[in-house]
Amino acid sequence: MPFPISQQTPNNNSRMGDISALDNAVKPKYSVALHAGAAESWFGDAQTQKNTEAFLANLIKVAEQQLMRGTTSIDVITDIVAALEDYPQFNAGKGSAVNIDGFHELEAAIVNGENSEYRAAACLSTTKNPIRLAHSMLAQESPCFLVGPSADAFAVKNGLEIVKNEYFSTPSRKGYWEAKIKEVRAASEYHGTVGAVALDVHGNLAAGNSTGGLMFKSVGRIGDTCVVGAGIWADGEVAIACSGSGEAILKATVASRAACDVRNGKSIGKAIEDALLKSADLFPTSSCGIIGIYKSGEISIHCNSRIFAVASASSVSSTINAGIIPSTIPLMKSLVCYEDDLLRAGMSKYPTMPNQMVIEWKGYSPFETLERHLFLEYLQAMRTIAKGLQKYCDVKRCALNSAAGRQTSIFPIPDEKSPKSNEVASIEETDSGLTLQTHDLESGYQASFYSKSSEQYLLVKVEIRTSNPSLNTSPGFLSLEIDAYNEACSALWKTCQILRGEFKQDLNSFTFEINTNSGSGSLATFSRLTSTALHFPAPAPFHDTYPGYLTTELGRRASNLLELSAIVDRVSNCIREVV
């Protein structure tokens, strides 16, 4: 689902006072974001996903209403996290992970950015809502951190709800533990945390986190979630909450690293992205998701995990964003094979085919919106990368696809395969309710624009074709000789201009695919993105050989992630040889 990773408010740093005292003409600013876990796996069907996303949307809406009424950020994030703890789909409170001995140990932390007051509790076994315990600890100067039976006793003393340890179990979580316990030798990589960050109308920031920890974790294990500077941070500048590989986040001090960069002048989005990349550099098999809010109200959400359940709202946007998003950082630094001023390319962390490469465009808008010379430069770099990959894989063709013009994948296609279109039949044959308009392009190319008859400007698909003999005899677009390649790229660029100009289309709404089989004269297609994914949030299947179609969805995390560095070196050398 589309989900903006940054929402900005005007840069107004003044303290806003009590909302009731504000002049009616002044609209106080607020922002709120929550997460329900960064993860590599998804447990649930389509209905579970629908219910989960609806729950997140409703929860963030309630939180927004609280902030609008003047509720403090520390109270809002407490209520958010407590509600997430009560929802059994998430790994916090009800539904928490089961440790190696078969019971639950929970942890939570809270930070008030107004005065840097931090409280945490860990190894809880009977406190129903750990975040409420952390919040109640703010009422006195000490202790800051409680662990085990003493923490549960403190909850009793403060009148918090107490439950039996079995309350935290769910059939799916307990069933998984029983099925796997005999073969377990270490804690599971299953991630899961819930958390929230908020800026209230008084100008104060706060952050909260809660988790059940890792499946099969050692008794007494404490992760990053409740450790200030690791999984959580809040001060007068920024609020941060993390989720993911606990040990890696703890050792890489992700939250404080991001916060420090913000205080030193980086934008919150760049600071969070750099903190994630640094953590991945230090611990290559780790993954992490971060939500953050800057004092101006700007929200940033990033993850290098395969999925991240999140929601956000702010005073400068009428839209509530809620859902499960894919990785926003597709490329790890250690996997980069090629980089120039426009893009970087490397081996995919989440491939659906062997030796799949990911290209990360450095711009802020789709590459299809570039001026002509930059567009051609971008696709010339694509050709170089593809030729290097072909050399490494010893194949003659590569295919390319791109989702919304930002993340692009290149796939090597084995020569013995007979590539085919992603669609079995042409669009004219499958839907008689479409109208067709054609535009003649330069160098003998033609673009066919298919739209719904009832809505002239709702394009469904665009196909670029040619009768150029050099294309028809080539093993593919990316293998064309340079002059023919430049002509083909110019035809693609012109098609983009027609899409944006005459048809007034947002190119973020399309996937772009360079066809693998040029024998039919088909060069490339633009297809409208649909709201229904075939597999997401579950991973797309991995195919050892080309299945006859391409996908923009993420597969499972590469099983040979630690071995990819050697492949990176060889592919890098092949790319340098063809430059």
Strand partners, 407: 360, 403
In terms of domains, do 56 and 136 share one? yes
Confidence of residue 507 (pLDDT cuts 50, 70, 90): confident
Active site residue 193: yes
In terms of domains, do 249 and 349 share one? no
Report pLDDT for 22: 36
Cβ atoms of residues 332 and 288 within 8 Å = no
Residue 10 confidence (pLDDT) above 60: no
| Range from 112-116, 304-308, 521-525 carrying the lowest mean pLDDT | 521-525
Can you list the alpha helix ranges (DSSP code H) found in 404-558? 427-430, 469-472, 482-500
Close Cβ partners of 577 (under 8 Å, ≥ 6 residues apart)? 388, 391
Give the tens place of pLDDT for each residue, 192-225: 799 999 999 999 999 999 999 999 999 999 999 9
Mean of pLDDT over the chain: 86
In terms of domains, do 132 and 224 share one? yes
Does pTM top 0.75 for this prediction? yes
Report pLDDT for 421: 44
Give the tens place of pLDDT for each residue, 141-198: 999 999 999 999 999 999 999 999 999 999 988 988 888 888 875 555 555 799 999 9
How many angstroms separate the Cα of 173 from the Cα of each of 89, 123, 178, 180? 10, 18, 9, 11
Confidence of residue 3 (pLDDT cuts 50, 70, 90): very low
| DSSP structural state of residue 191 | -
Extended strands (E) in 187-231: 194-199, 205-211
In terms of domains, do 318 and 420 share one? no
In terms of domains, do 373 and 437 share one? yes
Task: Give percent of the chain with pLDDT exceeding 90.
Answer: 57
Pick the residue with more confidence: 450 or 109? 109
| Range from 108-112, 284-288, 417-421 carrying the lowest mean pLDDT | 417-421
Q: Which one of 193, 211, 253, 552 is the catalytic residue? A: 193
Return the CATH number at 172.
3.60.20.30
Confidence of residue 235 (pLDDT cuts 50, 70, 90): very high
| Range from 67-71, 333-337, 517-521 carrying the lowest mean pLDDT | 517-521
Taking the C-alpha atoms of residue 555 and residue 553, their distance in angstroms, rounded to an integer, is 7
Taking the C-alpha atoms of residue 507 and residue 516, their distance in angstroms, rounded to an integer, is 22
In terms of domains, do 317 and 344 share one? no
Residue 292 lies in a domain: yes
Is 111 strand, coil or helix?
Answer: strand
Domain edge (last residue) among 279, 296, 326: 326
Return the CATH number at 493.
3.30.428
Residue 15 lies in a domain: no
Residue 12 lies in a domain: no
Residue 122 lies in a domain: yes
Report pLDDT for 190: 56
Q: Work out how many domains the chain is built from and give that number.
A: 2
- Token pair 């430069």 is found at 377
Confidence of residue 559 (pLDDT cuts 50, 70, 90): confident
Residue 177 lies in a domain: yes
In terms of domains, do 342 and 313 share one? no
Residue 349 lies in a domain: yes
Mean pLDDT of 514-533: 68
| Range from 12-16, 140-144, 149-153, 362-366 carrying the lowest mean pLDDT | 12-16
Give the tens place of pLDDT for each residue, 442-496: 888 899 988 875 554 567 788 888 876 655 556 677 888 888 888 889 999 999 8
In terms of domains, do 290 and 368 share one? no
Confidence of residue 429 (pLDDT cuts 50, 70, 90): very low
Can you say how many angstroms the Cα of residue 422 is from the centroid of all Cα atoms in its chain?
25
Q: 335-373: buried (b, 16+ CB within 10 Å) or exposed (e) per residue? A: bbbbbeebbbbbbbbbbbbbbbbbbbbeeeebbbbbeee
Domain that holds residue 485: 333-578
